[in-house]
């Protein structure tokens, strides 16, 4: 496969992600938020009959990361589809910025989602963006840090591919199958609706994020008083 | 998978969510189910004093459009006074109609199974959530903390099933501490009313497992006719589901007799569940023994050839009806009589 194909596919994903975020109360996304939103869409993509990306997110400094996404957003910005917010430097010397769609980017997004071949990806992105918005865009990193594939892989090694749909390892797909088996037990139903599965999965992520011992400790620490 | 306690708790909360289960069982949109459940709970909370111990059931009609006539306490009163305690509403509590109905759990399960519907049956502020024939949740909506198993000393994994049963026997069954089951204690006759004898033990064990199995993602009980096709209790854990069949031995107030053969019959039932349901990874048979102590010692044989390979040996729990001093007195008297 040509090296440009994964980037072209990620250009589609970035455009749909920025549109989904915009429609659900986040007009701009930071670099980390964009990575995380696309990761979450990839995690549930198989439920929408979408094939996984050819190159997966990998474990990195701030959670799952895919270099192709960064290349894609840079490429979209260069072509005038994505606008960059103010550049700023973090304490650690990293350059931080935020991304949003330009009017041309918005038209491009509309064109992509009207294409029947891409409609499923568009639905998946829209659903994930809506669920993240309900929980809060500020908590998207926590949600990703609660995702079981990343939880299992993060301690092992740096730059490990995150195979979220591999049922042979501790993965999101394994957890989702467990969820489906559990909620359908006792009912005479042939299938569990996709929307219920996706909502249940995000409820799990939100519960883990809220109940993790680290977060509980943080919420128990009183803020320092200024003198 | 789910190695940390907070991950298991998170999964259990997600899988026990009444709105999720209502959506799965009925096929209605989850957000509509959530809106319906929250609205009913809020209405009952706001009218706690006026509702007192009256019984009312709310049923969701997902096809009904939002109307101008919202459900209020006065409308509920009108329905109750006219003998129509089953109130059908839209998700936002717009009134659709009210029906004449019996609000016992059995009827509610039959109705919802037939209609594939969700029904919240309130007795005062205490609610039972019934979805397509299955009780998915029950709690007091005003004081839910009353039911919370906060730091229960009895929490154990399902793998320690014997210890779970021992805890249940000690804390609930012994001396009828938490459950009345004797009709005539002296003559060892079990109760059969208002529920069937089997249901008395079934509900108690179900509640105990629901509160105390540490690795349970979900516990559900098939409390209807307890027929051949419905497992009594199913416990879903991360490693798979287990079926639990509840039986009783002895005589009940209706004169019904259940002897040794009941154990083999129970084992056959468990085998049938395990063969039919590929999700089941284990089965248990629990028999509550209301016969005499001698029968309990000498007549607990069963046909092991009918046991499924994944089924544990049956657990026969003797129901005490005497205090230790009464037992000592009885043995002493019988020995004196025997010695002439």
How far is the C-alpha of B48 from the C-alpha of B62, rounded, in Å? 26
Q: B1, A148: Cβ pair inside 8 Å?
A: yes
pLDDT range class, residue B18, cuts 50, 70, 90: very high
Least confident piece of the model among A33-47, A60-74, B139-153, B305-319:
B139-153
Q: Do B14 and A207 touch (CB under 8 A)?
A: yes
Per DSSP, A165 falls in state: T
Lowest mean pLDDT among A16-30, B14-28, B147-161: B147-161
pTM of the full predicted structure?
Answer: 0.75
Answer whether residue A227 shows pLDDT above 80: no
- Of B7, B24, B236, which has the smallest distance from its Cβ to A189's Cβ? B24
Candidates A145, A168, A183, partner chain B, best to mutate (most B CBs within 10 A): A183
Q: How far apart are CA A71 and CA A73, in angstroms?
A: 6
CB < 8 Å to A189, chain B: 24-25, 27
Which chain A residues are closer than 8 Å to B1 by Cβ? 148, 170, 174-175, 178
Question: Which segments of chain B belong to CATH 3.40.1700?
Answer: 5-140
* Buried/exposed A157-167: b ≥16 CB within 10 Å, e otherwise: eeebebbbbee
- Picking from B1, B131, B220, the nearest residue to A175 by CB comes out as B1
Contact A200 B20 (CB under 8 A): yes
CA distances for A8 relative to A30, A163, B27, angstroms: 20, 21, 38
Do residue A212 and residue B15 have CB atoms under 8 angstroms apart? no
Distance from CA of B249 to the nearest CA of A (A): 27
Question: In A, what residues contact B, Cβ < 8 A?
Answer: 146, 148, 151, 170, 174-175, 178-179, 181-189, 192-193, 195-196, 199-201, 203-204, 207-208, 211-213
Read off the pLDDT of residues B31-58 as tens digits, 9 standing for 90 and up. 999 999 999 999 998 888 777 778 899 9
Chain B: nearest CA to A38, how far in angstroms? 23
Residue B230 — very low, low, confident or very high, per pLDDT cuts 50/70/90?
low
Residue from the list A179, A192, A212 with its beta carbon closest to the beta carbon of B6 = A212
ipTM of the complex: 0.87
CA distances from A219 to A100, A135, A173, A222 (A): 32, 17, 31, 8
Helix axes A194-211, A119-135, angle to 10 degrees: 40
Taking only the tens place, the pLDDT of each residue in A86-116 is: 888 877 777 788 999 999 999 999 999 898 8
- pLDDT of residue B148 exceeding 60, the answer is no
pLDDT at A216 (0 to 100) = 57
Residue among B1, B6, B17 minimizing CB distance to A174: B1
Q: Is B240 a residue whose pLDDT tops 60?
A: yes
Min Cα distance A188 → chain B (Å) is 8
Percent of chain A with pLDDT over 90: 56
Give me the pLDDT at residue B70, please. 87
Contact A76, A11 (CB under 8 A): yes
pLDDT of residue B249: 92
- Does the pLDDT value for residue B142 go beyond 70? yes
Domain B5-140 has CATH 3.40.1700: yes
Residue range A9-59, pLDDT digits in tens: 899 999 999 999 999 999 999 999 999 999 999 999 999 888 877 778 888
Residues of B in contact with A213 (CB under 8 A): 6
What span, in angstroms and rounded, lies between the C-alpha atoms of B253 and B244? Answer: 25
DSSP H or E run through A29: strand A29-30
pLDDT at B226 over 60: no
What pLDDT does residue B149 have?
A: 40
């Amino acid at each position: 496969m040509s090296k440009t194909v994964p980037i072209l596919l990620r250009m589609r994903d970035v455009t749909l992600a920025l549109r989904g975020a915009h429609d659900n109360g986040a007009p701009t996304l930071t670099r980390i938020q964009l990575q995380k939103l696309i990761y979450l869409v990839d995690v549930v993509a198989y439920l929408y009959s979408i094939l996984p990306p050819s190159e997966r997110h990998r474990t990195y400094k701030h959670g799952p990361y895919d270099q192709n996404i960064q290349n894609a957003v840079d490429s979209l910005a260069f072509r005038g589809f994505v606008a960059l917010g103010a550049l700023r430097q973090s304490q650690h010397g990293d350059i931080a910025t935020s991304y949003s769609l330009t009017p041309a980017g918005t038209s491009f997004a509309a064109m992509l989602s009207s294409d029947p071949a891409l409609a499923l990806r568009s639905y998946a992105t829209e659903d994930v963006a809506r669920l993240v918005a309900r929980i809060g865009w500020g908590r998207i990193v926590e949600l990703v840090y609660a995702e079981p594939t990343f939880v299992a892989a993060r301690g092992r090694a740096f730059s490990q591919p995150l195979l979220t749909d591999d049922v042979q390892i501790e993965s999101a797909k394994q957890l989702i199958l467990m969820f489906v088996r559990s909620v359908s037990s006792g009912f005479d139903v042939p299938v569990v609706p996709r929307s219920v599965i996706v909502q249940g999965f995000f409820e799990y992520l939100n519960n883990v994020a809220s109940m993790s011992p680290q977060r509980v400790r943080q919420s128990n620490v009183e803020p320092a008083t200024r003198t | 998978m789910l190695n940390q306690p907070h991950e298991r708790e998170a999964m259990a909360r997600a899988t026990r969510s009444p709105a999720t289960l209502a959506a799965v069982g009925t096929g209605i949109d989850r957000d509509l189910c959530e809106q319906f459940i929250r609205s009913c709970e809020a209405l009952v909370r706001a009218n706690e004093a006026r509702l007192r111990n009256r019984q009312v059931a709310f049923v969701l009609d997902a096809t009904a459009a939002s109307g101008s006539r919202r459900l209020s306490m006065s409308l509920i009163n009108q329905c109750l006074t006219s003998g129509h305690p089953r109130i059908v509403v839209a998700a936002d509590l717009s009134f659709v109609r009210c029906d004449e109905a019996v609000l016992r759990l059995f009827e509610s399960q039959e109705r919802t199974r037939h209609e594939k519907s969700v029904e919240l049956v309130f007795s005062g502020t205490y609610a039972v959530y019934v979805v397509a024939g299955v009780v998915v949740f029950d709690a007091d909506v005003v004081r839910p903390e009353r039911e919370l198993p906060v730091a229960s000393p009895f929490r154990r994994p399902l793998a320690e099933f014997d210890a779970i049963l021992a805890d249940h026997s000690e804390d609930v069954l012994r001396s009828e501490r938490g459950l009345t089951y004797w009709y005539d204690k002296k003559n060892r006759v079990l109760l059969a009313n208002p529920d069937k004898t089997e249901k008395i033990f079934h509900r108690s064990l179900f509640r105990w497992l629901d509160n105390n199995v540490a690795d349970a993602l979900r516990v559900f009980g098939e409390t209807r006719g307890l027929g051949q096709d419905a497992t009594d209790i199913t416990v879903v854990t991360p490693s798979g589901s287990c079926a639990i069949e509840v039986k009783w031995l002895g005589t009940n107030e209706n004169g019904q007799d259940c002897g040794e053969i009941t154990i083999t019959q129970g084992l056959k039932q468990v085998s049938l569940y395990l063969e039919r349901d590929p999700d089941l990874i284990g089965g248990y048979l629990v028999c509550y023994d209301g016969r005499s102590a001698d029968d309990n010692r000498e007549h607990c044989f069963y046909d092991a050839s009918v046991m499924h390979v994944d089924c544990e040996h049956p657990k026969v729990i003797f129901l005490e009806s005497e205090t230790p001093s009464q037992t000592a007195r009885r043995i002493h008297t019988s020995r004196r009589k025997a010695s002439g």
